[in-house]
A = this chain, B = another copy of it.
Amino acid sequence: MKNVGRGHIPFGWAGPAAGGGIFQIIKEQGPISRTRLVEITGLAKSTITLHVDKLLDLGLIIEDLGSDPITGRKQKELRFAFDAGYTIGIDLGVTSLDVALCNLGSEIISLASEKLTINLEPKTILDKIFSAVNKLLHENNLESKQITGIGMGFPGPVEFSTGRPVAPPIMPHWDLYPLAENLIEKYKCPVFVDNDVNMMAVGERHSGIAKDIENVLFIKVGTGIGAGIICDGELYRGSLGCAGDIGHISVEGVEEGCPCGNIGCLEAVAGGPAVATRATNAAKNQESELLYQLWNEKGIVTAEDVGELAERGDLVCLEIIRESGRMVGKVLSKLVNFYNPSIMVIGGGLSNYGDRFLASIREVIYRRSTPLATRDLTIQRSVLKSQAGVIGASVTAVDELFSQQNVAIMVSEEESLK
């Protein structure tokens, strides 16, 4: 059905499709009474009963006692059976791996995190993922066949339909690697792989500071820099799945080279490694006593160290943080004019620098974007922080598994068994 865009009915109104639609309303707006479902859908009470009973039979929803939001009177309410299964949410970063066991409501039950480098062989990283998943399952007395689905974020462009990384810059050994296939083979369940920042944006909109907001930009500033775009409530991936790839947008007035071959790329001049390099140079030049001491002791200065020293009042570190924030702000000010979001959420490692970092980003955006585009704009830190990625990965798996279409298929398969 080409040409039928948003706001139109995507497919038939025959029984199972209506069941799929009713399920979506229960999942997204529940707990909800049958009376309210009648109001929303315009369907007859008997029709709602028919569909709801099928969804209850399938175990997709649960009915229990709640209170009417207005009268407070006790009433039966329907909700998604979010405790009837488990997902695994995986967030593979350039320097870290986070794996979470979640319920179908994408609430984290257990979390395993470790440091690593994306430059390892894909096979080695997969083994680390397998170990983490197995550990989480073991701790919770679960078997792998109890996993309903897996979502995974990867720090580069991904073809969502195949679950394979596509031309990730600086990581050629990952190009077209069958990431989803490997996980499917291991756990015999559906697997959905997407860019890590997309997953974070989905997570933050599901249960973070961007909850229920329609037009959102999630900006990750860490080793890499990227954006996740929520357009009218849905993740926007672009024509080849690389929308939001802002790390290689050039920053005005900066001439440093980037491994991609261009100069002044945001990621190369404002990301974690650039901050660390700038601080190391300042240490070598003894521009700051604290930095010099640290470098002398440890032999290196990390982006995290810069944050800690700034916290302790080191002005050189504070200025390095501010400089990075201003460069991020320069690029974001252009995107604010173009995209006119309601909220920009700043996440990733450097967002831990806190208000100083955000103030520098805000300063440039308010100076350089048009007054109308910033009139109602909110610029906030991620509240889910390092968990945004695993939560978003779980949400993506659940949304795909229990889409309107898939639930309609479940309903119609159950009918044909009778």
Interface residues of A in 163-189 (CB under 8 A from B): 166-167, 169
Given A21-B8, A243-B338, A375-B240, also A231-B233 (CB < 8 A) = no
Q: Is A239 an interface residue (CB 8 A)?
A: yes
- Specify the chain B residue showing the minimal Cβ separation from A241: B340
Please name all residues of chain B whose beta carbon is closer than 8 Å to the beta carbon of A227 when the two chains form the complex: 338
Q: List 27 A-B contacts (CB under 8 A).
A: A1-B29, A2-B29, A3-B28, A4-B29, A5-B6, A6-B232, A6-B234, A7-B403, A9-B13, A9-B17, A11-B42, A12-B42, A13-B18, A13-B21, A169-B370, A214-B239, A229-B338, A231-B232, A231-B236, A239-B341, A239-B376, A244-B340, A245-B338, A245-B340, A248-B337, A334-B334, A338-B339
Q: Is A70 an interface residue (CB 8 A)?
A: no
Number of copies: 2
Q: Which A residues have a C-beta under 8 Å from some C-beta of B? A: 1-14, 17-18, 21, 24-25, 28-29, 40-43, 157, 166-167, 169, 212, 214-215, 227, 229, 231-234, 236-246, 248-250, 252-253, 260, 262, 331, 334-335, 337-342, 367-368, 370-373, 375-377, 403-404
Which of the residues B3, B14, B377 comes within 8 Å of A29, measured between beta carbons? B3
How far apart sit A166 and B331, CA to CA, in the bound complex (Å)? 25
Residue pair B239, A215 in contact (C-beta under 8 Å): yes
Please name all residues of chain B whose beta carbon is closer than 8 Å to the beta carbon of A372 when the two chains form the complex: 157, 166-167, 240, 242, 245
Residue pair B11, A41 in contact (C-beta under 8 Å): yes
Listed from nearest, the 10 A-B pairs whose CB atoms lie closest are: A12-B42, A238-B340, A5-B233, A14-B42, A243-B340, A239-B342, A9-B21, A6-B6, A13-B13, A3-B28
Please name all residues of chain B whose beta carbon is closer than 8 Å to the beta carbon of A331 when the two chains form the complex: 334
How far apart sit A231 and B229, CA to CA, in the bound complex (Å)? 11
Residue pair B242, A6 in contact (C-beta under 8 Å): no
Please name all residues of chain B whose beta carbon is closer than 8 Å to the beta carbon of A376 when the two chains form the complex: 239-240
Residue pair B8, A24 in contact (C-beta under 8 Å): yes
How far apart sit A337 and B238, CA to CA, in the bound complex (Å)? 10
Given A14-B43, A232-B231, A373-B242, also A8-B337 (CB < 8 A) = no
Residue pair A338, B246 in contact (C-beta under 8 Å): yes
Residue pair B245, A8 in contact (C-beta under 8 Å): no
Please name all residues of chain B whose beta carbon is closer than 8 Å to the beta carbon of A28 when the two chains form the complex: 3-4
- Specify the chain B residue showing the minimal Cβ separation from A213: B239
Given A28-B4, A338-B245, also A215-B238 (CB < 8 A) = yes
